[in-house]
Amino acid sequence: MNVDISTGLLERSEQPAQAPQQSPARIESDAQAIAVAQRLANDFAQEAALRDRERRLPWDELDAFVASGLWAITVPREFGGPGVKNGTLAEVTATIAAADGSLGQIPQNHFYALEVLRVGGSVEQRRFFYGRVLAGERFGNALAEIGHKDFMRRTRLSRDAQGWRIDGRKFYCTGALYAHWIPTLVVSEEDGRDVTYLVFVPRGAPGVTVTDDWDGFGQRVTGSGSVQFEGVRVQAEWIVPFQTSFERATTIGPLAQIIHAAIDLGQARGAFDAALRFVRERSRPWIDAKVERAADDPLTIAQFGDLAARLTAAEALVRRAGRYVDAAQAAPDDLSVAQASIAVAEARALTTSISLDAGSRLFELAGTAATLDGLGLDRYWRNARTHTLHDPVRWKYHAIGNFYLNDALPPRHGAL
């Protein structure tokens, strides 16, 4: 049972996600995926500020999101999905995140788990879990742990007379609250050493406790709380190799990171568009500008020009990174995966800075009236500041520089 820490949440927040009533729509093409995302974003934007202010969990919006077919867009064609390009996945994510940053982030680990399956799962595992996604089920995550250098070391997969079991506690479990399955990083002792797996755990399994204790000042309704596993029984068919997927060149890391870049890109778009509307419709010009409208203030115009140019550059880098990830998925080797990782790191470096800057300069350009609490415009900066802390951008600059200067391949993990 979920332990609710706030007020005003929907009653459904206390229960596991309900089984889909009907199969989602089928997305047939990249262009359709983007068009559907744009339509949904228009709807999601309507009450985004209210959901953020009241910490209202977006159950209905998630149901609509999944029903649209967008949560299945990376399922490969040979398994019944559209298998869209990574640039399309990024654009869909950015479009939703511009409307509501939390909704843009919730499926990030869902798509991450699909990539782990694609890379390391057996044909039977892929067929089963891809089928569940096509039927409308969603994945959350239980990856990280607090207070431990090895972020999944304490959650164990072990075997006894009754079979496999999981014990441990996770935090930052984005999407677990809303999930039908919770992909969980575990370690199992084999031949005297720990081996890592990703186990797909049913959200409603006995011994699983999802606690809604995420109280960050941004990304408030991502469901990024904690998950406790106490003697949770799992089947062997739900256990997917994980460690071996990083012992060779794979696109799990770049795929995870391009979605993060897209979330930041969407946050920047949302803040930029909000600033445009406010300055055009409500802001007053500074007296020394000697103009009637704030939108005619020459210094304000220059500031918008700077933001627009950098936002366009960030969009271009994300699209470019998508092409590199596509190429690495088609022919993975040390160089192609390294090039994809570096291209995505370059995109993340710029999307990090533009999302933070756009959220901050919104107020500088719009003026004091934009700080009124009822408007909720601060959510753009709060969401960007919270999400961009997912992993340190300073290390992305290091990886980029080391690659070009010393031909050093970047590390293989989900944070680069």
Q: Indicate if 294 and 392 belong to the same structural domain.
A: yes
**In this structure, are 237 and 275 located in the same domain?**
no
Residues 169 and 296 in one domain: no
Residue 357 domain-assigned (yes or no): yes
The answer as to whether 140 is a domain residue is no
We report the CATH number of the domain holding residue 267 as: 1.20.140.10
In Å, what is the CA distance from 82 to each residue of 30, 49, 70, 110? 8, 33, 10, 16
Kindly state whether residue 324 falls inside one of the protein's structural domains: yes
Residue 172 inside a domain? The answer is yes
* Sheet with strand 226-234: strands edge to edge: 208-211, 226-234, 163-170, 156-160, 181-190, 193-202, 239-241
Residue 1 lies in a domain: no
68 lies in a domain?
A: yes
The residue out of 202, 226, 242 marking a domain boundary is 242
Verify that 116 and 172 share a domain, yes or no.
no
Helices within 100-241 (DSSP H only): 101-105, 108-120, 123-134
| Residue ranges in the chain whose pLDDT is less than 50 | 1-14, 151-152
Cα–Cα distances in Å, from 288 out to 31, 278, 284, 291, 292?
47, 20, 12, 8, 11
**Domain with 83 in it: what CATH number?**
1.10.540.10
User: In this predicted structure, what is the pLDDT of residue 13?
Assistant: 42
Residue 270, both tokens? 């949302």
Same domain, 217 and 300: no
pLDDT at res. 413? 84
- pLDDT tens track for 208-249: 999 999 999 999 999 999 999 999 999 999 999 999 888 999
126 and 20 both lie in a single domain:
yes
Give the strand pairing for 181-190 and 193-202: antiparallel
205 within a domain of the structure (yes/no): yes
Residues 236 and 278 in one domain: no
CB 321 within 8 A of CB 350: no
Same domain for 228 and 258: no
Instruction: Let me know whether 317 and 388 are in one domain.
Output: yes
Q: Is residue 176 domain-shared with residue 253, that is, in the same domain?
A: no
Query: What's the predicted TM-score (pTM) here?
Result: 0.94
Give yes or no: residues 355 and 385 share one domain: yes
**How much is the pLDDT for 149?**
56
β-partners of residue 112 are: none
> By three-state DSSP, how is residue 241 classified?
strand
Range of the domain at 213: 156-242
Final residue in a domain of this structure, among 212, 242, 272: 242
Condensed to tens digits (0 to 9), the pLDDT of residues 358-407 reads: 999 999 999 999 999 999 999 999 999 999 999 999 999 999 999 999 99
Residue type, position 408, single letter: A
- Residue 384: predicted pLDDT: 98
Kindly state whether residue 100 falls inside one of the protein's structural domains. Answer: yes
As a whole number of angstroms, the distance between CA 5 and CA 25 comes to 34
CATH number for the domain spanning 189: value is: 2.40.110.10
Answer yes or no: do 118 and 185 share one domain: no
What's the number of domains the chain is made of? 3
pLDDT for res 5: 30
Domain boundary among 211, 242, 273: 242
Predicted confidence at residue 173, as pLDDT, reads 97
Separation CA 182–CA 371 (nearest Å): 38
